[in-house]
Amino acid sequence: MMYFSRIKTTLVLGVCMLGILMGVPNLFPAPAAWMPWRTVHLGLDLRGGSYLLLEVDMKAVLKERLDSLADGVRQALRTAQIFYQTLEPQPDQTRILLRIRDASKTDAAVEALKPLISQDAATGLPDMAIGSDPDGTITLTLSATALAARATGAVDQSIEIVRRRIDETGVLDPQIARQGQDRIVVQLPGVGDPDRIKQLIGKTAHMTFRLVDETANPAAGGQPPPGDDFLQMQDRPGEKIAVRKRIDVDGADLTDARAGTSPETGEWVVNFTFNSVGARRFADISRANVNHRFAIVLDDKVISAPVIREAITGGRGQISGSFNAQSANDLAVLLRAGALPAPLTVVEERSVGPELGADSIRAGALSLGAGFVFVIAFMGVFYGLFGWFANLALIVNLFLMLGIMSLLQATLTLPGMAGILLTLGMAVDANILINERIREEQKLGRPPLAALEHGFNRAYSTIFDSNATAFLAHVMLFVFGSGPVRGFAVTITVGIATSLFTAWMLTRLLVSRWYVATRPKLLPV
């Protein structure tokens, strides 16, 4: 037990040196840029920043899918000249319910709808099932796997678009990641006030260009005529305008959008450019509708509805509508980044200003220093030389913890700092167990070497058992916890592992070296 072969000694010291080397970068800034200077990441609660948890509105994803399927059904039936009574999307059952007029044509209708089925890319299974009744009722039910794939796609696409929008704001080092089924975590270091970002990602930014129905009058109230929507005017609250449902040009066909000022009026505008498809359609529509009004609709609100003066053929256009520099810029950013496939909702927000973060670091460091001194003093006073061996191991342990956390690129949070402190308190437990045991063995009359042997040997299973349960509890905390609390769980689990090493290997090595060097008649325990 007390004998260390040369290889073992080298290994133990090597691990300690490596740990110290990896831990040191946390204490100083990098002296030179070329040096590998890996440090522990500071959590947002310490460095200041914002954490946003966004939820993708899956109902909207489903509704959109059903709506587009309904469009397909209408078209297919029109081509096949089959008339229907009702055509109803039923989101709760993820299906479309269709009732055709002439029940004898049911089979023909099913045949006409079959081309709408597409194969899932991954599994090769059809993405929906068509069922029919002889009475003319037909259902098109979307398969669960196809919907799940679509939901995954919607989240991935949202992440991409959120990233593009945030990149445009110049926030450094944002982290955007998926969480679970339908959520996105956005972490913005250094952003103490995430209002602007929230505004940017809170908009779907689906832009459409549609004709205004000049015959309908929304002010008269009532239902809009079929094929029309009554939409709100963006800058005149309460005023509505009748817009055709048919989308003439979609914002997806935009290639660029920039904020600028109009040379004529001097007011802020957004200049945009279409791709070739969009440009052609825009030209056709504008040519056919000179002197009619054309609505620019963003997320079901009409930004402006200018009158078309002449055919616009260059694929370029301009949106005006009481912008200021900021709002024009924001709209340009949104249009450039593209539309979100579904609305996003902020379900959790945590932001910390830089001042508070710095305060937390100061308070944490002060507590850490004070706790460290207390523990070291206790061990020195109550265990003498063996206490100082433990203290040396404790210092190495601190570096090992920092080193491993740097290596794992783990995040240090304020609760994490508390975790380091608790680990310091718990780490000496192993040494206390060992020292008490050695003391007992010596009192039983064993000579020093035998007392050391037995002390370390017997304390081992106790140390292992008592740490294993704590380890298990904190692994559970990591699994089920979130945010800063996870940081706490990480520091404690890492700390338990490193303290087992330092208490069991390093102090034993130190004690054995000391014994060989001094050969004491009595152990000072």
Residue 405 binding other proteins, by CB under 8 A: no
Please, which residues bridge with residue 256 across strands? 273
- Map residues 133-172 to x or -, x wherever contact with other proteins holds by CB under 8 A: ----------------------------------------
User: Closer CB to other proteins, residue 290 or residue 363?
Assistant: 363
Q: How far is the CB of 424 from other proteins (least distance, A)?
A: 5
3-state secondary structure string across 280-347: HHHHHHHHHCCCCEEEEEECCEEEECCECCCCCCCCEEEEEEEECHHHHHHHHHHHHHCCCCCCEEEE
Query: What does the block give as tokens for 98?
Result: 């269709």
Nearer to other proteins, 311 or 422 (CB): 422
Residue 504 DSSP symbol? I
Q: What is the DSSP string of 26-93?
A: GTS--SSTTS----PEEPHHHH-EEEEEEEE-HHHHHHHHHHHHHHHHHHHHHHHT--EEEEEEEGGG
The residue range among 240-248, 270-278, 310-318, 482-490 that interacts with other proteins, by the rule CB under 8 A, is 482-490
Say which DSSP state 308 is in: P
478 in Cβ contact with 470 (< 8 Å): no
**Residue 429 binding other proteins, by CB under 8 A:** yes
Residue with smaller CB distance to other proteins, 472 or 516: 472
- From 260-268, 301-309, 316-324, 347-355, give the range in contact with other proteins by CB under 8 A: 347-355
Which listed range, 32-40, 320-328, 409-417, 504-512, lies at the site for other proteins (CB under 8 A)? Answer: 409-417
Q: Is the distance from CB of 95 to CB of 142 less than 8 angstroms?
A: yes
Q: Per CB under 8 A, does 432 bind other proteins?
A: yes
CB under 8 A: which stretch of 89-97, 260-268, 429-437, 502-510 binds other proteins? 429-437
Is 15 a binding residue for other proteins by CB under 8 A? The answer is: no
CB of 400 to other proteins, least distance (A): 17
Residues 448 to 477 in contact with other proteins, rule: CB under 8 A: 458, 461-462, 465-474, 476-477
Residues binding other proteins: number (CB under 8 A): 85
447 three-state secondary structure: coil
Q: Confirm or reject binding of residue 351 to other proteins (CB under 8 A).
A: yes
Q: Which of 404, 407, 432 is nearest to 492 (CA)?
A: 404
From residue 118, alpha-carbon distances to 91, 98, 129, 142, 230 in Å are: 20, 19, 10, 11, 34
Q: Please, what is the minimum distance in Å from the beta carbon of residue 426 to other proteins?
A: 6
**Beta pairing partners, 319:** 270
Nearer to other proteins by C-beta: 233 or 523?
523
Q: How far apart (Å, rounded) are the C-alpha atoms in residues 468 and 451?
A: 26
Question: Does residue number 43 form part of the binding site for other proteins (CB under 8 A)?
Answer: no
Backbone angles phi, psi at 487, to 5 degrees: -60, -40
Q: Which of 1, 21, 125, 347 binds other proteins (CB under 8 A)?
A: 347
> Per rule CB under 8 A, is residue 16 in the interface with other proteins?
no
Beta bridge partners of 257: 272
Residue 314: C-alpha distances to residues 130, 191, 318 (Å): 45, 41, 12
- Between 91 and 202, name the residue whose CB sits nearer to other proteins: 202
Question: Which candidate, 197, 193, 189, places its Cα nearest to that of 411?
Answer: 189
Going by C-beta distance under 8 Å and a sequence separation of 6 or more, which residues neighbour residue 129?
140, 141, 143
327 binds other proteins (CB under 8 A): no
**Counting contacts by CB under 8 A, is residue 71 touching other proteins?**
no
Structure tokens, 436: 């008490």
Residue 250 makes contact with other proteins by CB under 8 A: no
Site for other proteins in 356-375 (CB under 8 A): 356, 359-360, 363-364, 366-372, 374-375
The bridge status of strand 175-179 relative to strand 128-132 is unpaired
Residues 165-194 that bind other proteins (CB under 8 A): 192-193
The single-letter code of the amino acid at 51 is Y
User: Which residue number, 192 or 306, has a Cβ lying nearer to other proteins?
Assistant: 192
Q: Find the binder of other proteins among 19, 23, 55, 304 (CB under 8 A).
A: 55
CB of 451 to other proteins, least distance (A): 15
Closest to other proteins by CB, 268 or 372: 372
Q: Restricting to residues 261-320, name those near other proteins by CB under 8 A.
A: none
Does residue 440 belong to the site contacting other proteins (CB under 8 A)?
yes
**Window 102-131: residues binding other proteins (CB under 8 A):** none
Nearer to other proteins among residue 280 and residue 350 (C-beta): 350
Of the ranges 74-82, 100-108, 114-122, 417-425, which one interacts with other proteins (CB under 8 A)?
Answer: 417-425
Relative to beta strand 411-412, strand 41-42 is parallel
Residues 193 and 356: their CA atoms lie apart, in Å, by 13
406 makes contact with other proteins (CB under 8 A): no
Residue type, 78: R
The verdict on 380 binding other proteins (CB under 8 A) reads yes
The token pair at 82 is 């089959």
